[in-house]
Amino acid sequence: MKLDVKKLGGCFVAEVDGVDFSSPVPAAAVAEIIGVLDRFGVAVFRDTGLDDLRHIEFSRQFGRLETAPKLFDAQSTRFAYPELFDAGNLDREGRILTDERRRIYNRGNALWHTDSSFNPHRAAYSLLLAHRVPPVGGDTQFADMRSAYAALPPATRDLIEDLVAEHWLWHSRMIAGYPAPTAAERASKPPSQHRLVQFHAGAGCRTLYLAAHASHIVGWPEATGRQLLQELMAFATQPQFTCAVQWHRPGDLVIWDNRSTMHRATAFEDTLYPRDMRRTTVYDTPG
Ligand code: OGA
Ligand code: MN
């Protein structure tokens, strides 16, 4: 199978055509898509026609899937499948969310981040499928952590070579304005530690593993570590390393590699327009 791969507007995102999602996608096509992700980091597929179940089944072809944590009461989840993460602004009845805690929690997605870096087992791919898109705004931006790493001054590369960052879900949520986590929330998502510099085997290069969830550097005074992380974030999200993906229609699918990119949601009139976005998250292979 030969996929039709185009570079989106001169940046590192690929727009991929030629995948037939109406029946199970052949393993050879999935292998080609993984090759595209190794090269680009982000791939956009238009008009896939996928529904929840086929979204999940297609995702499983990339590896084992995470299940979404039940952070709010079980009644609040909109989906029949535990593998679906809710990145939209709707409640169970399809109305725009009014629950202020959930609205603030969701605002965390507007910070540059890598999905699930707060878990001990990293995520490889995220597959975000649009079900409803607002008429304007609500793009998703991506930052390329391979070119950002490659562009770091050598002294910085030396400095960070062996550093380990601590990632905590509640760190990014508190930055977004969420209240300090309750004991139950803390227990449900304890912090995790990951090396700041990682080698991406598929891409054959080093990457910066950053996220708004990263709170400090292990073994460093907290403030010093936080400052370094903020400097690296500012460096890695400069315009030359970033690009935006526009969601055109329901059925648009974007797959990104969390090991080589960061992403963030951008603003739209979220009290006026529904935005229904559903995500699956594929574990990185162990080791
Ligand atoms: C996500 C996410 C951004 C967006 O689903 O992981 O960060 O634009 N989404 O919805
Ligand atoms: Mn995300």
- What domains appear along the chain, each with residue ranges and CATH number? 4-283 (3.60.130.10)
pLDDT above 70: residue 74: no
Measured CA distances, 68 to 38, 57, 77 (Å): 25, 16, 10
Sign of torsion over alpha carbons 153, 225, 178, 260: positive
| pLDDT at residue 110 in the model | 96
Query: Which residue from 142, 263, 268, 276 has its CB within 8 A of the most atoms of ligand 1, so it is best to mutate?
Result: 263
pLDDT above 60: residue 287: no
Binning pLDDT at 50, 70 and 90, where does residue 70 land? confident
- Model pTM above 0.85: yes
Compute the chain's Rg from CA coordinates: 18
Which residue owns the Cα nearest ligand 1 atom 8? 265
Binning pLDDT at 50, 70 and 90, where does residue 245 land? very high
CA of 21 to the centre of ligand 2 (A): 24
Pocket around ligand 1 at a 6 A CB cut-off? 87, 109, 115, 126, 128, 140, 263, 265, 277, 279
| pLDDT at residue 11 in the model | 84
User: Mean pLDDT of all residues in the chain?
Assistant: 95
Is the Cβ–Cβ distance between 207 and 108 less than 8 Å? no
The mean per-residue pLDDT over the stretch 231-236 comes to: 98
CA of 86 to the centre of ligand 2 (A): 10
The mean per-residue pLDDT over the stretch 186-208 comes to: 97
Atom of ligand 1 nearest to the CA of 113: 7
Q: Which of 40-54, 110-124, 175-189, 250-264 has the lowest mean pLDDT?
A: 175-189
The mean per-residue pLDDT over the stretch 87-103 comes to: 92
Atom of ligand 1 nearest to the CA of 85: 5
CA of 155 to the centre of ligand 2 (A): 30
**For residue 160, how many other CB atoms are within 10 A of its CB?**
19
